[in-house]
Amino acid sequence: MKTIFEKSVPGRAACLPDRPEQYAGAYIPASLMRESFAGLPEVSELDVVRHFTELSRKNFGVDGNFYPLGSCTMKYNPKFTEAVAAMPGFTRLHPVLPQLKGAGRLCQGALEVMYEMERHLCEITGMSAFTLHPMAGAHGELTGAMIIAAYHKDKGHKKTKILCPDSAHGTNPASASIAGFEVVNVPSKDGIVDPAELAKVLDDEVAALMMTMPNTLGLFESHLPEIVAMLREKDALLYYDGANLNAILGKMRVGDAGFDVMHINLHKTFATPHGGGGPGAGPVGVCEKLAPYLPVSRVAKMEDGQFFLDYDYPKSIGYVSPFYGNFGVTLKAYAYILRLGREGLIRVSENAVLAANYIRKRLEDRLHIPFNRTCMHEFVASASELAKKGVHALDLAKALLDKGHHSPTVYFPLIVKEAVMIEPTETESLETIDQFIDDLLAILDQAEADPASLHDAPLTTPVSRLDETKAARDMVLTQDMLEDSRGL
């Protein structure tokens, strides 16, 4: 397929208004008008429409394919939430509208959504307060780590370390490091945090332990009560990575279990778009003693029922995002929570766990599963036995593309060799899951009969298998680089 630049023809253009400075009814000052096309392709409107429509048909996406990416929760996004987020009363708001009196009425609805959303998240998680500012899961992690640092500094504690289990979410160590902490690894035992190993590294300088629960192996941390008690003795906090919250939604409130601070991936747990770098949202919830350190501004409610943004928090860590986070994502999650209600949210976790265990049981006789016991929303298999015959986890992943499925996560977590992490989510039907299993079993049969035949997969996609190391090191970012790479 040619690029849009290669389809360019000098002098060709789409329909333009007679007076472009008044295009679409908006007046554009002469000082802001382009003096040239700035190197843009010269194409007709039909060229543009056909080009990007053709591109869209080459994409893998949740709307068209099964996406069993472990720890990423790539589930279907219901369209009613898109309709809510597109309501003119929300989309036409300007972020600096006055909050109160007169024009303030224009944004009271948006402020009420934010206020109520925080209350819902508190109820779901057992936390005392929330901020909607963080714009991604990792951004939420960083915000949580900054709150932990602010709390200990305010109390006069000398805390320099954050502990991260080897079964935790992959971005935890980076977030802790950016926040200024030394990161200390905690080895797991039988797939979960080992209290004996934790005791070896838990000293007076530990500020917090960051746990993903259930962890990246899809296993519930059964030693949690003991771990909470150990941390309390050292005046250390417990952080909950909410990437896997949809596994326990409605079944467990993490605040009640002893966690002090957490983030939620709205784009994972509450079905808003995910992937491709955004949009996302990572609200952070805290226990009561950490509430003073939340970012500003915070949505507050006056006695007369009006809402406003409150900046009067002298211990706050300050701003972590422009304006008020990804408001559109919040809207979608808010609508999703209201539509499902209490019973619906409980069914989310029940169906997610059921689907994962169904796949695990059907595959256990054909694919090695290192920690083969009842899992939560995902499980991790291993292609280590197949690797002895020359078929690796990457080969399975590429072959699944030929079957019409996106691949599971591979080579993560690092504590499983040749890892294949499978998360079906709660939104897929039994028919889709059975088709995925049957296709994977067929690939495993092929791996036994003709291992070399999988090395060229995928064969049916627009782009065949890439040299991923070279692609990462020598990225093609411009049209000139593309022409050079083709030898033009």
For residue range 7-61, list pLDDT tens digits in order. 999 988 876 655 555 555 566 777 777 776 567 888 999 999 999 999 988 888 8
> What are the tokens at 201?
């590294």
Q: What is the DSSP letter of 215?
A: -
Spatial distance between the Cα atoms of 355 and 102, rounded to a whole number of angstroms: 52
Percent of the residues in the chain that have a pLDDT greater than 70, as a whole number: 93
| Per-residue confidence (pLDDT) for residue 278, from 0 to 100 | 62
Cα Rg of the chain (Å, integer): 25
pLDDT at 481 over 90: no
Question: Which helix H or strand E contains 44, and what residues bound it?
Answer: none
Bridge partners for 304 per DSSP: none
| Per-residue confidence (pLDDT) for residue 263, from 0 to 100 | 97
Closest by CA to 301, choosing from 83, 118, 467, is 118
The pTM assigned to this predicted structure is 0.89
Which amino acid type is present at position 216? T
Find the mean pLDDT for residues 179-192: 96
Residue ranges and CATH numbers for the domains of the chain are 83-338 (3.40.640.10), 349-472 (3.90.1150.10)
Spatial distance between the Cα atoms of 375 and 212, rounded to a whole number of angstroms: 14
- As a residue count, the chain comes to 488
Which amino acid type is present at position 385? E
Give SS3 for 320: coil
| Per-residue confidence (pLDDT) for residue 271, from 0 to 100 | 87
Q: What is the pLDDT of residues 88-121, one digit of tens each?
A: 999 988 888 887 655 567 889 999 999 999 999 9
Which amino acid type is present at position 399? A
Residues in CB range of 96: below 8 A, 6 or more apart: none
| Per-residue confidence (pLDDT) for residue 94, from 0 to 100 | 86
Residues in CB range of 105: below 8 A, 6 or more apart: none
Find the mean pLDDT for residues 151-179: 95
In this structure, what are the phi and psi dihedrals at residue 420, rounded to the nearest 5 degrees? Answer: -130, 100
Q: What is the pLDDT of residues 256-301, one digit of tens each?
A: 999 999 999 998 899 887 765 567 899 999 999 999 999 999 999 9
| Per-residue confidence (pLDDT) for residue 37, from 0 to 100 | 59
- Cis omega (within 30 of 0) on the bond before 297? yes
The answer to whether 294 and 131 have CB atoms below 8 angstroms apart is: yes
Q: What is the pLDDT of residues 311-369, one digit of tens each?
A: 999 999 999 998 888 999 999 999 999 999 999 999 999 999 999 999 999 999 999 99
| Per-residue confidence (pLDDT) for residue 330, from 0 to 100 | 94
The answer to whether 172 and 186 have CB atoms below 8 angstroms apart is: no
Environment class of 216 (CB within 10 Å of its CB; exposed 0-12, middle 13-18, buried 19+): buried
Q: What is the DSSP letter of 368?
A: B
Environment class of 277 (CB within 10 Å of its CB; exposed 0-12, middle 13-18, buried 19+): exposed
